[in-house]
Structure 1
Amino acid sequence: MSSALRAKELLIRAVECDQIGRILEAQTLYQDGIAQLMGFVNGEPDENKRKGFLTRIKEYMDRADAIKARVNGKLMLGKVVSHICIEDNDIGYDYDDIFGQFMDDKTIEILLEEPYMTQNYQYQNLVRFLELTAVKCKNMKYFRLVTKEDTKNLDQQKTNIGQIKADLERRNITCCVKYEESLHDRRIYLSNGYIIKIGRGLHFYKASNPVYSIGLVNYKFRKCHKTDVDIWSNSNS
């Protein structure tokens, strides 16, 4: 498929997602479509055609910027509806207990900002979160993970995340992974209007000790590191 046709396909899908409220997916599609179209335009010898394409690109860039502003607004605004203070060595806090009640059939998109995704237990925590999503969010269509690159073992990181991405896509959930080295926030945006902010992100559980003891599988019995959890509600979502 030529870059022009690929760009057209991506941008048509972006507009469709934009119109039905799947703004996270639309944002990614606009960005990818614009990049494809720019690559095509740079090789276009006809000056008039190139100007026409650049005009269209500007229109799509404006749409993408508007969506970015909407996403950022949803992440920044709202009010706290739940606050949980987890003390060191506390037990009884699995993901379902903490925020499962805020995940529902209206959640069609999720953005997870989790800086650290390099260790086996961190991938396992991600899978546990997605398992809860599969139970609670029956209409889930799009998942975006934003994390940092594993500079020590990048190939293994991409293999592990690639397996998770492929499994989601087999379940008809589009998955997008973005790497941002400056990322430090840990938060989960649900498209039904809730934002979950956890001081330690998903990784607030201590290792099961000894390994084969109660808590190995059921995290309700896992000891926790000290952290705070705030659930925000954005009434405009």
Structure 2
Amino acid sequence: MSNPMQAKELLIRAVECDQSGRILEAQTLYTDGIDQLMNFVNGEPDEAKRKVFHTRIKEYMDRAEAIKARVNGKLMLGEVVSHVSIEENDTGYDYDQVFGQYMDRKTIEILVEEPYMQQNYQYANLVRFLELAITNCPNLKYFRLITKEAQDPKYTDNQKTNLGQIKADLERRNIAVSIKYEDSLHDRKIYLSNGFIIKIGRGLHFYKAPNPMYSIGLNNYKFRKCLQTDVDIWRNNSSKS
């Protein structure tokens, strides 16, 4: 049975995040807290107590719906502030050069929607992105990754292990992490809480493998050849709200 004190703690943290503008984290905490409270209430034999709990749950569900509306509003595209066309075999497009200037100390939350996170080079790309985020966003407090769950058995265990390692490392740096799996995910998007949205045709994975392996570009992606893709940077219209 779920612990009502744990649910209460999650919901208190949700309210605190909501009030401080960390709406992505608040959304996750509201969802987890409500789920735990519902599980507890379903096992409560006292009808009067269940009624009291349901009243409280309804209040938190209303708050969660309001947060969801705010999040959806933040994820709506506004105006394009930059467009970059990367051609096949181009070089000079490290993450920092492409969109690093839009990641700053005002960024306290980041959402990455990246369907493909199953192979070693894809985890390496995510780590490179997070290294840039930690460098450019000193006030980062929350990171959410939405990806597809690996279906091939040879990738399933590695996905849980590798993403778990990344999550644990960020949490050691006082950055809360949520990893969600959505099998229907198709679009690729990076949302920054300072109001910018980065859309890359190939997501984070627009680099070619170094050839030969030990050549310039192995570690510094500025020298790495790219796949053809387009990058659009949007500023959300409600970024000041």
Shorter-chain TM band: over 0.9
Partner of 2:65: 65
1:192-235 alpha-carbon deviations (Å, 9 max, x no partner): 00000000000000000010111101101111111110000014
Aligned residue pairs total 237
CA distance in 2, matches of 1:145, 1:2: 26
Structure 1 equivalent of residue 168 of structure 2 = 166
Task: Point out where structure 1 has 5 or more consecutive residues left out of the alignment.
Answer: none
Matches within 5 A, 1:152-163: 152=152, 153-163=155-165
Aligned pairs (5 A) from 1:217-228 = 217-228=219-230
1:2-151 to structure 2, matched below 5 A, reads 3-151=3-151
Deviation at 1:155, TM superposition (A): 1.3
Counterpart AA for 1:91 = T
The CA RMSD measured in Å over matched residues stands at 1.1
CA distance in 2, matches of 1:6, 1:231: 40
Greater mean alpha carbon deviation, residues 126-135 or residues 49-58: 49-58
The alpha-carbon deviation at position 2 of structure 1 amounts to 5.7
Rounded Cα–Cα distance in structure 2 between residues aligned with 1:133 and 1:196:
13
Distance in 1, Cα, partners of 2:197 & 2:139: 18
What is the CA distance between 1:151 and its match in structure 2? Answer: 1.2
**Structure 2 equivalent of residue 211 of structure 1:** 213
CA deviation digits over 1:169-194, x for unaligned, max 9? 11010111000000011000000000
Instruction: Name the SS for the 2:75 alignment partner.
Output: helix
Deviation at 1:6, TM superposition (A): 0.6
Measure, in 2, the Cα distance between the counterparts of 1:61 and 1:226. 44
Residues 114-154 of structure 1 show CA distances to partners (whole Å, capped at 9, x for unaligned) of 00000100000000000001110000100000001111121
Q: Which amino acid aligns with 2:201?
A: G
Matches of 2:68 and 2:187, distance apart in 1? 17
Counterparts of 1:221 and 1:62 in 2: how far apart (Å)? 50
Q: Find the aligned partners of 1:27 and 1:2 in 2 and give their Cα distance.
A: 20
Q: Whole-Å Cα distance in 2 between the matches of residues 191 and 130 of structure 1?
A: 15
Partner of 1:201: 203
Checking the alignment, whether the CA contact within 8 Å between 2:103 and 2:137 is kept in structure 1 is yes
- Residue deviations 1:90-134 (CA, integer Å, cap 9, x gap): 110010001000000010000000000001000000000000011
For normalisation by structure 2, the TM-score amounts to: 0.96
Shift of 1:59: 1.4
- Residue identity in the other structure for 1:23: I
Aligned partners of 2:198 and 2:78: how far apart in 1?
Answer: 11
Give distance in 2, aligned partners of 1:198 and 1:58.
39
- The amino acid of 1:94's aligned partner reads D
Between the aligned partners of 1:72 and 1:200, the Cα distance in structure 2 is: 23
Off by >3 Å, runs of 4+ in structure 1: none
| Gap change, CA 1:183 and 1:2, over 3 Å in 2 | closer
Give the TM-score of the pair, scaled to structure 1.
Answer: 0.98
Aligned to 2:179: 177
SS at match of 1:139: coil
What amino acid maps onto 1:50 in structure 2? R
Identical columns (%): 78
CA contact (8 A) 2:142 2:176 kept: yes
**Paired letter, 2:52:** G
